């Protein structure tokens, strides 16, 4: 940089480099973007990630299958059941075991509750970023109820690890089911309340409509998934297209919007909360009776009371606790639909009780590049709206 | 299309470029060599019957402990949004100067996973627009997801036993 005759600093270029993050309240974690600003317009955004790298994929290569499940909770920490389910479904596909219907229904209830909770966090923080404080407090209130339900069934509020290989950790109790039923009856009026605050709100419309537009072709090309894909008019949801864990038994709609802007992603997610609520209601109505985990003693622990009078049960218990599940050689990938989009684990097994390679397909990780493309050309004030609307979780980006 | 039909179609159309086509656990899997990746990838996307317009995932695998040749593998998952089917492309990569051609020109979403492949496995992605480390710091040494990457030490700057740790890194103890 030189000095002009008037003694002013000479600029080499007309743009300014602006550092955003890594600790910025609207980046939802530790995400850093280097913005090349041309006045108020973002010229380009260069993402910088890795601040939350915890080496979970590497650690998984040295842990037994059962021990990997609690680590998957910490990947996308707003959707722990979805990660558990993706990992368990992949392992079960390698093991080739059948899951009893009751376990499948309990998994669905648990995952849909997590989807609602995750969307509530998204709505709360996204609205707060744009300046709507009230929604933040309202959404947190309902999320608290879901966390209480999580605590009741799994003992943990967020990192539930409730879904296990072969089924779920323990059977649902009548009080818990009643609690879920109460929540299901209570929740629709609350969604209407959020919508009353935002959907027709002129400030909200100004800040979100026509902002961060992504066309259908771009969304597919940039490997966006979940609500970002459906907000751009792509009708693709793994729960409908390739039903897993019994989703074919439920009636629900997949909301899509054509506009591809921040507002359309907002509408898609709000409608998804209603649909998730409907799925939970149907699952409660038709919850089958039976086992909550596969009766295969090579995979799931035998019932506790049989240990006292069955030698075989005792041996299986000892082997499972001391050695864990042995998974046949092979490799596979099972995609599921998480709140942020396609979640899947690519697992390579060498036939032992420890996975040889675990790779997470994280929707947020794949979305970051597309998100930065959305930012270029937008106003600096819209950057927070775009980041909020893509709903990234840095835990699964950096892994 | 079913997985069998996909594998059959890929095999008949691409001929020798397909090293092996199989259906494992219901998934269509095709093995190819790195040099035929750009041609195969473009064909997979542009073929009207297959229409693999969506890149889902790229995983790297290091088969060092399984004594498999070639040592590395890049595994690509593709979906077709319209046709609702998938294929897995497994690209074996040798140990000497591992490299694989980039597919960012075909699917823009490949940008980040390819950088991760380079960062974690040291597989150079040829033709990538911005090939630098993604998750690890830029001055990091080694590629953490390789199987011979030492687990027992961490090479931290300003550490009081830095020299001792350097020695351990060079000895490369077994990973497990």
Domain residue spans in chain B? 3-150
Residue A27, both tokens:
């980046």
pLDDT digit string, tens, across residues B42-60: 888 888 888 898 999 999 9
Q: Which of A306, A331, A320, A230 is CA-nearest to residue A275?
A: A230
User: How much is the ipTM here?
Assistant: 0.84
The answer regarding whether domain B3-150 maps to CATH 3.30.460.80 reads yes
- For A337-354, the DSSP string reads EETTEEEEEEEEE-SSSS
Q: Which residues of B touch A58 (CB under 8 A)?
A: 144-145, 149, 151
Q: Convert A229-246 to b/e letters by CB count within 10 Å (16 or more is b).
A: bbbbbbebbbbbebebbb
Residue ranges in chain A modelled with pLDDT below 50: none
- Cβ-Cβ pairs closer than 8 A, A with B, add up to 97
pLDDT digit string, tens, across residues B73-86: 999 999 998 888 89
Give yes or no for a cis peptide into A22 (omega within 30° of 0): yes
Mean of per-residue pLDDT scores for chain B: 83
Q: Which residues of B touch A329 (CB under 8 A)?
A: none
Q: Which of A45, A32, A29, A23 is CA-nearest to residue A378?
A: A45
Integer Cα distance of B132 and A170 in angstroms: 46
Nearest CA distance, A61 vs chain B (angstrom): 9
3 state DSSP class of A297: coil
Please name the residue that has the structure tokens 């998100």: A371
Sign of CA dihedral A304, A307, A313, A315: positive
Integer Cα distance of B119 and B131 in angstroms: 9
Q: Using CB atoms, which residue from B57, B65, B135 is nearest to A53?
A: B135
CB contact under 8 A, B56 and A223: yes
Return the bridge partners of B57, or none: B77
A33 phi, psi to nearest 5 deg: -130, 135
- The bridge status of strand B86-93 relative to strand B27-32 is parallel
- What pLDDT does B149 receive? 80
Rounded to an integer, the average pLDDT of B7-18 is: 84
Nearest CA distance, A136 vs chain B (angstrom): 31
Please give the residue that has the higher pLDDT: either B163 or B175: B163
Question: Does pLDDT of B150 surpass 80?
Answer: no
Integer Cα distance of B40 and B18 in angstroms: 9
Residue A133, both tokens:
């404080």
Is-contact A108 A92, C-beta < 8 A? no
Tell me whether A233 touches chain B (CB under 8 Å): no
- What pLDDT does A1 receive? 52
- What pLDDT does B176 receive? 44
Rounded to an integer, the average pLDDT of B16-26 is: 85
Is-contact B73 B64, C-beta < 8 A? no
Listed in sequence order, the residues at least 6 apart from A178 whose beta carbon sits closer than 8 Å to its beta carbon are none
Percent of chain B whose pLDDT exceeds 70: 86
Q: Which residues of A touch B103 (CB under 8 A)?
A: none
Crossing angle for the helix pair A101-130 and A174-198, to the nearest 10 degrees: 30
Nearest CA distance, A398 vs chain B (angstrom): 6
Question: Does pLDDT of B97 surpass 80?
Answer: yes
Give yes or no for a cis peptide into A111 (omega within 30° of 0): no
Integer Cα distance of A235 and B78 in angstroms: 17
Rounded to an integer, the average pLDDT of B125-138 is: 87
- In angstroms, how far is CA B118 from the centroid of its own chain? 9
- What pLDDT does A113 receive? 92
């Amino acid at each position: 940089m030189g000095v002009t005759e008037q003694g002013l600093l000479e600029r080499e270029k007309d743009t300014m480099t602006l550092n955003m993050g890594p600790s910025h309240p609207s980046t939802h974690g530790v995400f850093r973007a280097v913005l090349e600003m041309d006045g108020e317009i973002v010229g380009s955004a260069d993402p910088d990630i890795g601040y939350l790298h915890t080496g979970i994929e590497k650690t998984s290569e040295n842990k037994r299958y059962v021990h990997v499940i609690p680590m998957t909770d910490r990947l996308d920490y707003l959707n722990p059941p979805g990660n558990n389910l993706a990992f368990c479904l992949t392992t079960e596909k390698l093991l080739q075991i059948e899951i009893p219907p009751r376990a499948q229904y309990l998994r669905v209830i648990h995952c849909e509750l997590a989807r609602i909770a995750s969307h509530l966090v998204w709505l709360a923080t996204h609205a707060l970023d744009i300046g709507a404080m009230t929604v933040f407090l309202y959404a947190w209130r309902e999320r608290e109820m879901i966390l209480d339900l999580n605590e009741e069934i799994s003992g943990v509020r967020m990192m539930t690890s409730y879904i296990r290989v072969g089924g779920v950790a323990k059977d649902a109790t009548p009080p818990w089911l009643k609690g879920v039923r109460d929540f299901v009856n209570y929740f629709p009026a609350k969604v209407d309340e959020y919508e009353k605050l935002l959907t027709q709100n002129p400030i909200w419309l100004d800040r979100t409509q026509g902002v961060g537009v992504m066309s259908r072709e771009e969304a597919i090309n940039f490997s966006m998934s979940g609500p970002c894909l459906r907000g751009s008019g792509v009708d693709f949801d793994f729960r409908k297209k390739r039903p897993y864990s019994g989703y074919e038994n439920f009636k629900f709609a997949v909301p899509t919007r054509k506009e591809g802007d921040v507002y359309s992603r907002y509408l898609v997610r709000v409608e998804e909360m209603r649909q998730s609520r409907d799925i939970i209601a149907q699952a409660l109505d038709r919850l089958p009776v039976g086992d909550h985990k596969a009766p295969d003693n090579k995979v799931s622990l035998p019932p506790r009371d049989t240990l006292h009078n069955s030698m075989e049960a005792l041996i299986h218990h000892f082997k499972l606790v001391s050695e864990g599940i042995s998974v046949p050689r092979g490799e596979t990938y099972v995609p599921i639909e998480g709140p942020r989009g396609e979640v899947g684990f690519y697992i390579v097994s060498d036939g032992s009780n420890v996975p040889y390679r675990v790779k997470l397909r994280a929707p947020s990780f794949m979305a970051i590049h597309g998100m930065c493309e959305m930012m270029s050309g937008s106003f600096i004030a819209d950057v927070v709206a775009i980041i909020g609307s893509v709903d990234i979780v840095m835990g699964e980006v950096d892994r | 299309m079913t997985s069998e039909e996909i594998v059959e179609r890929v095999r008949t159309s691409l001929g020798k470029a397909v090293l092996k086509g199989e259906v494992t656990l219901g998934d269509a899997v095709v093995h190819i060599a790195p040099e035929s990746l750009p041609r195969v990838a473009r064909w997979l996307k542009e073929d009207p019957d297959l229409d693999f317009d969506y890149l889902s995932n790229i995983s790297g695998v290091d088969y060092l402990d399984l004594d498999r040749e070639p040592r590395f593998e890049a595994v690509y998952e593709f979906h077709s949004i319209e046709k609702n089917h998938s294929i897995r492309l497994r690209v074996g990569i040798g140990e000497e100067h591992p490299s694989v051609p980039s597919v960012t020109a075909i699917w823009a979403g490949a940008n980040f996973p390819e950088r991760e492949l380079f960062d974690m496995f040291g597989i150079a992605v040829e033709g990538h627009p911005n090939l630098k480390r993604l998750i690890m710091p830029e001055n990091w040494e080694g590629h953490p997801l390789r199987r011979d990457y030492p687990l027992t030490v961490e090479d931290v700057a300003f550490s009081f036993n830095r020299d001792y740790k350097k020695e351990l890194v060079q000895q490369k103890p077994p990973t497990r």
